[in-house]
Amino acid sequence: MTAPLAAVPRFHLAIPVDDLDAARLFYGGVLGLEQGRSSDAWVDWNLHGHQFVTHLATERVRRIHNPVDGHEVPVPHFGLILPIPEFQVLAERLRTAGIDFVIEPYVRFEGEKGEQWTMFLLDPAGNALEFKAFADDSQVFAV
């Protein structure tokens, strides 16, 4: 996956997983992320130039959902804002891998400010991910 522009600060995010081998298959195999350093307790991933780490943890996070646009959105969640063509390629890659979507890819706020494609899914440990793509990237923070 491509790296962000150098002018954009990179984030670091660490999440719990209950099986590092399953995390390797999902994040490396399904999502195609490059693996970095690792140990018996964690794996670093390159998430479009951001440092994303899966840490082995035996306890799961409690799931909460909020109603948004007629869907039950899992909270917490994380993901990326992609260009629309990359979003579509990823959606197809996930379908081909047999991933079950929490919320299937669809267009939210169609014809309005902030129009965007969005999709939600869970990793093997139950962490929620959202990937989205804006029709007009300048409207990411539109009100």
Three-state SS sequence of 22-42: HHHHHHHHHCCCEEEEECCCE
Q: Are 80 and 10 in contact (CB under 8 A)?
A: no
Which of left, alpha, beta for 91 (phi over 0: left; psi -120 to 50: alpha)? alpha
Paired sense of beta strands 12-17 and 50-56, if any: parallel
- Taking residues 13-28, report their average pLDDT: 96
| Token pair 């909270």: residue | 75
At residue 61 the predicted structure's pLDDT band, cuts being 50, 70 and 90, is low
- Taking residues 127-140, report their average pLDDT: 95
Residue 133 CB contacts under 8 Å (≥ 6 apart), including other chains: 81, 82, 83, 84, 86, 87, 88, 116, 117
pLDDT at 6: 59
pLDDT at 111: 92
| Token pair 């984030």: residue | 11
- Taking residues 130-139, report their average pLDDT: 95
Task: Quote the pTM value.
Answer: 0.87
